[in-house]
Every structure is written in structure tokens, then in C-alpha cells.
Amino acid sequence: MQKEEFSRICRDLSSGSNHALSGVLLPAVKEHLALHNKKKLPVIWLETNDSGDNNIAFMNTTYPYLDRVFTEMIDLLYSNTFMAAQGRNALNILEQIPGIYKGKFTLVVEGAVPVKDNGVYNIIARTETRFITALEAVTRLGGLAEYVVAVGTCASFGGPSAARPNLTGSAGVRDVLEREVINVSGCPVNPDWFVGTLAHLLMYGRPDLDRSGRPTLFYGFTVHRHCQRRSYFDNKDFAMKLGDIECMFSLGCMGPRTGADCPYRQWINHVSWPVKANTPCIGCTNEDFPDGSSPFFTPMPEKSQDQGGGKNVSGQRGD
């Protein structure tokens, strides 16, 4: 599969292939590995300061399912959720693998990184003599990785973990590392965005990124652009209350300044997304989420400047 075809499959709205993206990409990955005599993508996955929702979303990848992502595409070297090893055995892996795979592995970080008080507010491991903070682990591994992928909005930009008053000083990975970070934002991330990004890294290397560091394959246009209720907006026909069929801009929908392909990618086996379920987009992929979307269900012009609603930092192409 050529890179141009890969991009078309990710973006094409008419072929329907994007409704089972993993099912299209995994055979292509398998063929690519055999053709180029390459191995699977080595991945170290760290969970830091978040709710764990992104690994749950990742487990919802469908057609084919999660097991084939592991067996055919990525070599998951470390993950406190998915690995069998525990305790000292797990820590040994985390200490040894980076040296073996230096400059060859992809570091995936899920969650924001507390930096206040030297990161003491998030401990990812404890040895006989000391605690290992998320700040220490992300900093050390981030300097050794070939690529760093922040999965979810907390890891990408700070997200809810860094929302006011942010007592732990939580920050996105990009603000911790002095290197490029590929941000696959979302609260939680759509599994196709994550699997598609990993597939691109394996087959073609770094994908094209928007100004927020997100792959343009998935974040290149606003939710508003392809929303099924767009015609109501164009006709200035706005919903009066939740449950109405008209455009929900009047109810605080953040779609016009939110980069994501949710309207046609959809969620839960590709059958629904927030607007289809009669709730406004709350801009969860944005750099300033959730403060910039607050208060929810309030029209954007009415969101106060001190809530961050005045910034347009979505980084996507508009209409």
C-alpha cells in the first residue's frame, strides 16, 4: 500500500472503509512487514495521570479486534494494563528494554505528567529504595525513543488533569519533553485514530501534523464541517433544548472549533457519536479542553474569556 492510498483510506467518506479502519490497515501492515522484512513496531506504554479511559477505548478497536493489533502490528514491550508481568519483573523490563531498543521504540504516554514538587503526585513504580515518578520515567524514556505518541487529551495538552486549579502542576507530554510529540488527542481517543497513527509510524514514519501536533489524517477538518446537522446551521435553524433535531450550536456545541472526524468515524463499533446521541460536541480534542469549553451547554460567544473560551487553538482546517 502506497502512502497516498493509506491517506485516502483514512479520509475517504464515500468508500465506507473508514468504518472498519483497522480491518483495512492490518492486512496492509502484514504485507508491508513481509515485503520489507521488517518487524512489528516496538512500543512502551506508560500510564500517568488520567482516568485510564484511553486504553479502554483502545480495547474497543474492532474488525479485527485488539488481539490482532498486538499479534500483527505492535510489539508491546511494557504496559501496566496489558502486560502479564508484575512487580519487580515488570520493572526489570522497563529498565532493560530501553537500552536494547534505544532509538527504535515508540513511547506511548497516556495521561498528563505532574511536574510540581518534582512530580511526586504520580508514582508509576516503587523500588526497595525509592519511588519512580511519571516525570522521571517520561523524561528518561522520551529521550531514548524514536517516536513519542501522547494518547488522549491529558497526555497531549494536559486535559482534565490540568484543568483549573491544577494543584499537581499537570502538563502535556510536549511541555515536559524537549522534542517533537505526536498528539493523538481525545477524551477518550477514538481507537482508529490511535491504531491509524501507529500503523503510519510503522509503514511510513512520522505522519503530517497540524499546528497542535496532531495527525492531519484524523484532525484535519472540524467536526462542524462534516456534521450531519450542518444544513440546520447553514439555515440558522437552532435547537431550543437537548433532544431537538436542529443544530446544537445554540446549546454550546464546540464543533466549529474542534478538529476531529467524529461525524463519519463515529464510536462504539462505528455506529454513534455525541451529536447523533443528541448531545453537543464539547471539544474534547482541543488544546484548551476542558477549560476552554466551559461552561458546557453554553453558546460559544457566551463562554467567558477567563474560562479560555476566547482562544481558537484547534489547529484544524475550517470550512
3-state secondary structure of 100: helix
Q: Is residue 139 part of a domain?
A: yes
Say whether both 121 and 244 belong to one domain: no
Say whether both 57 and 96 belong to one domain: yes
For every residue of 43-98, DSSP letters joined together read: EEEEE-BS-SHHHHHHHT--SS-HHHHHHHTEEEEEETTT-S--HHHHHHHHHHHH
pLDDT number for residue 240 = 94
pLDDT number for residue 128 = 86
Say whether both 71 and 109 belong to one domain: yes
Cell of 156: 497531549
Among residues 169, 202, 219, the one where a domain terminates is 219
pLDDT number for residue 187 = 96
How far apart, in whole angstroms, are the C-alpha atoms of residue 194 and residue 190?
7
Say whether both 210 and 226 belong to one domain: no
Say whether both 213 and 195 belong to one domain: yes
How far apart, in whole angstroms, are the C-alpha atoms of residue 236 and residue 262?
22
How far apart, in whole angstroms, are the C-alpha atoms of residue 179 and residue 117?
23
pTM over 0.85: yes
How far apart, in whole angstroms, are the C-alpha atoms of residue 144 and residue 134?
15
Helices 3-11 and 21-36: crossing angle in degrees, nearest 10, is: 170
Say whether both 86 and 203 belong to one domain: yes
For the chain, how many structural domains are there in total? 2
Q: Is residue 250 part of a domain?
A: yes
For residue 259, the domain's CATH number is 4.10.480.10
Say whether both 40 and 53 belong to one domain: yes
Cα Rg for the chain, rounded, in angstroms? 20
Chain centroid to Cα 191, Å, comes to: 8
pLDDT number for residue 260 = 97
For every residue of 217-236, DSSP letters joined together read: HHHSBBHHHH-TTHHHHHTT
Domain region containing 82: 3-219
Q: Is residue 255 part of a domain?
A: yes
Q: Is residue 244 part of a domain?
A: yes
For residue 7, the domain's CATH number is 3.40.50.700
| Averaged pLDDT in 10-residue chunks for the chain of 319 residues | 86 56 85 94 95 90 85 94 91 90 97 97 91 96 97 98 96 97 97 94 96 96 96 96 95 96 88 94 97 90 49 49
The number of beta carbons lying within 10 Å of the beta carbon of residue 214 is 30
Amino acid code (one letter) for 140: R
